[in-house]
Amino acid sequence: VTPMRIKVELGDRAYEVLIGPGLIAAAGRHIAAVLPARRIAVVTDENLAKIHLSGFVAALVEAGIEAVPVVVAPGEASKSFRTLEAVTDALIGAQLERGDAVVALGGGVVGDLAGFAAAITRRGMAYVQVPTSLLAQVDSSVGGKTGINTRHGKNLVGAFQQPALVLADTDVLDTLPKREFAAGYAEVVKYGLLGDAGFFDWLEANRDAIFAGGAARVEAVARSCRAKARIVAADEREAGERALLNLGHTFGHALEAAAGYDAARLVHGEAIAIGMVLAHDFSVARGLLAPADAEKARTHLSDAGLPVTISAIPGPRFEADELMRHIAQDKKVRRGSLTFILTRGIGQAFVAEDVPADAVHAFLSEKVNAP
């Protein structure tokens, strides 16, 4: 099967995203076509190593590339200075040179960590993203944001470092639990909601097929990557349009933080689903959006099995005051105003500056109790 190819147009840092089935089995050949590396460190986590590592290493060996596995603990806690140091030590200890490369074989955590380690080892090594979750395939593996968390918050230390290649093997999505697939799907829907009403319509017509797998799924991933690639090419360092990718993320991050990043209660994609619905409802409340459009977004996400209200999150109730504290930490409040991504219609998101913090607080006070 010939994979779909999407080019991320970034001048001398341009690269391709390959999307399709069977890409892990052919990884050595695809990597050798873009990189001269003779030796490659494969960074993955303990869980993914059991499923994918031996096949991936075999694919490298088949292309005459020596593989050096670097296995970290699964979970967000690996996005730390401690694990970063351990990974850079492993890369240097294996005597990888600047001309060699690093592969991130995993979801967002492995991608962010391994990409950052590649960015700083010997002041920059080539790296390849091989995302194994839907969320990573349509979001974090494209765009070059890498990093770790600190005690002050998530992703506060890192680098913009574009990969040399992204291999999104859609076969690996077959092994994902339904809840994780749905969470990734929230980010797929985001591309429709933020800037492409036609894509949203297509998702409405094809949701079941996408969840079932096959050609519709490949197309959903490809259209998402194409949307992100276009935005990143226009605004690599998030000076403008790239901020639209944060649709639903201000509310979503606050919910994740207030839920203590407890995956049993809420995973990232679920938080973004609720956050996007809140962003639409808030746009209605601000007189910007027709209520019917907010309803369309809510219905589509809900039908995909995603939570769409704050009260749907299991565990203790949320307080508007606490959510506002997290929002203030996430964003600088300038003279009582916040910057938000709001929307005027399906596919018509925009950056709204000077959103009164009071209005956000009043909106959330109502929403934390809404059924």
Choose, by CB under 8 A, the member of 55, 153, 315, 316 that binds its own copies: 153
Choose, by CB under 8 A, the member of 34, 67, 120, 284 that binds its own copies: 120
Q: Residue 253 catalytic?
A: yes
Pick between residue 82 and residue 179 the one whose CB is nearest to its own copies.
Answer: 82
Q: Residue 242 catalytic?
A: yes
Give residues with Cβ within 8 angstroms of 325, minimum separation 6: none
- Provide the mask over 200-239, with x wherever binding to its own copies is found by CB under 8 A and - wherever it is not: -------------------------------------x--
Give residues with Cβ within 8 angstroms of 54, minimum separation 6: none
Gap between the Cα atoms of 156 and 226, Å rounded: 27
Only one of the segments 66-74, 81-89, 335-343, 344-352 lies at the binding site for its own copies (rule: CB under 8 A); that segment is 81-89
Choose, by CB under 8 A, the member of 30, 145, 226, 296 that binds its own copies: 145
Active-site entry in 226, 246, 270, 326: 246
Residue reference for tokens 């980010």: 187
Residue 267, token pair as written in the block: 């995973």
Q: Residue 145 catalytic?
A: yes
CB of 77 to its own copies, least distance (A): 15
Pick between residue 92 and residue 215 the one whose CB is nearest to its own copies.
Answer: 92
Only one of the segments 30-38, 84-92, 261-269, 312-320 lies at the binding site for its own copies (rule: CB under 8 A); that segment is 84-92
Q: Residue 123 catalytic?
A: yes
Q: Phi and psi at residue 248, in whole multiples of 5°? A: 80, -5
Gap between the Cα atoms of 54 and 37, Å rounded: 19
Only one of the segments 85-93, 198-206, 254-262, 284-292 lies at the binding site for its own copies (rule: CB under 8 A); that segment is 85-93
Torsion of the alpha carbons at 181, 272, 367 and 363, rounded to the nearest 10: -160
Give residues with Cβ within 8 angstroms of 156, minimum separation 6: 147, 149, 150
Residues between 283 and 342 that touch its own copies (CB under 8 A): 332
Listing DSSP states for 39-97 in one string gives: EEEEEEEHHHIIIIIHHHHHHHHHTT-EEEEEEE-SSGGGSSHHHHHHHHHHHHHTT--
Contact between 10 and its own copies by CB under 8 A: the answer reads no
Residue 174, token pair as written in the block: 């077959």
> Which residues are catalytically annotated?
123, 145, 187, 228, 238, 242, 246, 249, 253, 268
Name the residues that contact its own copies, by CB under 8 A: 81, 84-85, 88-89, 92-93, 97, 116, 119-124, 145, 147, 150-153, 156-160, 237, 332
